[in-house]
Amino acid sequence: MGSEKSAPTQTPRHAVAFPTGREADRRVAGVAAAARVVHDLAQSGAGEAWLAIGDGRRLAPATLDDIERLRGTMQVPIVAPGDVPSDIPLTPAPAMSATAILRGTSKPSDGLVSRYFNRPISQRISWAVLLIPGARPIHATIAAALFALVMFWGMLEGGKTGLILGGILFHAASVIDGVDGEMARATFRATDFGKTLDSAIDMATNFLFVLALTLHLGRHGPQYIHWLGFLSIGLMVTGAVLIGWRTRAGGAPLSFDMFKRSGPVRNFVDLVYWAVQTLTGRDVFAFLFMVLIIVGLGHVALMIFASVGTLWFLYVLGSLLLPRPRPRFRGAA
C-alpha cells in the first residue's frame, strides 16, 4: 500500500460584520475598532479577514491606515454583508472597551505603589490622551522629560517651595512614565527604540532629582549631605552602565525591568528578591521621597536613597554574576 497523502492545510478565513461604517471607524483606545479585529485575527494566524460593513459606507482613511499597519500578511477585503462568500461564517463584531484594554496594559513587574496607585491614574491619563487624534507614545515620553526639567529647575531655584514642587513633580514623573508604555501597548506601537528612550529618561530623571536634592540641601547643610548624594549618583550611574552593557550584549532594548522577577515567592531567595525589588522600585521611592520632602525631611530622603541605591547596586551585581534559573517545561500530556 502506498503512503497516504495528508490533506492540504487551508488558511483560516474569517468574516466580521459591523452594522455601520461609523462603528467600524470608532476609535477604541487609539485604534479603530475594525483594525483591532484585524489585529486579533492576524495574531491568531488567519489568512483572510473579511470586513462586512452593513451600510456600505467607505471606511475613514485613519481606519484604513490602522488596518494596513496591523494586518501583517493577511488579506482584508472590505465588502457589503451580501458579498461575503457563503462558505465563510459571518460573526458580529465583538464588544470593545477602552477601559478594559487599558487595564490590560499593566506589567507583571509593577511595584506596590505602581500597581495600586500610579497605574489607576496613568491609565486614566492614557485614556484621555488617546482621545486626541494623532497622539503617540513619544508625546508622553517627551512630557515625562519636561516634568524632569521643571523638577530640576524648581529644586535648584525655588527655595523651600521649589523643593516641595520638585518632590511632587518627581512622583508625577513616575506616574506619567507609565503613560507612554500603556499607549504603546494599547495601540500596538511598542518599539525597541521607544523602550530604550523611556528607560534612559527614567534614569536621567532619577539622576537630576538626586543631584538637585544634593545641591539644595548641601548649600546650608552638613558636609555629609554631599557625600551621600554623590555616593547615590555614583551607584546609580555605575548600575545603569552595567545594565546598558548587559542589554547591549544580549541585543535587547535598554530596560531596568530586565532583572525583575514576577513569579510567586516560593523560598527565601525569592523573598529576598521580592523585598529588594519592592524597596528599590522607582514607584516606591518616588512616592516616599515626595512625602518626606513635603514634611521637611529631605535629608532623610537622601539617606534612604543612598541606602536603597546600595541595595539596588548589589542586586544588579548579583543578578549579573549569579546564574539565572532555567525555565521549567512541562512534558506533553
Query: What's the average model confidence in pLDDT over 16-37?
Result: 97
Query: What's the average model confidence in pLDDT over 92-108?
Result: 93
Please list, in sequence order, all residues whose beta carbon lies within 8 angstroms of the beta carbon of residue 59, skipping any fewer than 6 positions away: 21, 24, 25, 32, 34, 53, 67, 78
**3-state SS assignment for residue 220:** coil
Which architecture does CATH list for 107-321?
A: Up-down Bundle (1.20)
Q: How would DSSP label each residue in 117-172?
A: IIHHHHHHHHHHHTTSTT--HHHHHHHHHHHHHHHHHHHHHSHHHHHHHHHHHHHH
pLDDT of residue 284: 86
pLDDT of residue 281: 76
pLDDT of residue 265: 59
Where are the domains positioned within the chain?
13-96, 107-321
**For the chain, percent of residues with pLDDT exceeding 90:** 53
Q: Is the pLDDT score of 66 beyond 70?
A: yes
Pairing mode, strands 27-28 and 78-79: unpaired
Query: What's the average model confidence in pLDDT over 19-24?
Result: 96
* 96 contacts 33 by C-beta, under 8 angstroms: yes
Q: What is the pLDDT of residues 35-50, one digit of tens each?
A: 999 999 999 999 999 9
Q: What is the pLDDT of residues 114-154, one digit of tens each?
A: 889 999 999 999 999 999 989 999 999 999 999 999 999 99
Q: Is the pLDDT score of 273 beyond 80?
A: no
Quick one: angle between helices 159-187 and 192-218, nearest 10? 170
pLDDT of residue 1: 38
Q: What is the pLDDT of residues 279-328, one digit of tens each?
A: 667 888 899 999 999 999 988 888 888 887 787 788 777 777 765 554 44
Q: Is the pLDDT score of 5 beyond 50?
A: no
pLDDT of residue 137: 95
pTM, to two decimals: 0.80
Identify which has the larger pLDDT, 259 or 42. 42
* 66 contacts 32 by C-beta, under 8 angstroms: yes
Q: Is the pLDDT score of 210 beyond 70?
A: yes
Confidence of residue 209 (pLDDT cuts 50, 70, 90): very high
pLDDT of residue 17: 97
Identify which has the larger pLDDT, 109 or 258. 109
Query: What's the average model confidence in pLDDT over 196-200?
Result: 87
Q: 66 is written with which cell numbers?
A: 490602522
Identify which has the larger pLDDT, 75 or 312. 75
Nearest one of 249, 268, 119, 103 to 186, comparing CA atoms:
103
CB crowding 222-245: b at 16 or more within 10 Å, else e? eeebeebbebbbebbeebbeebbe
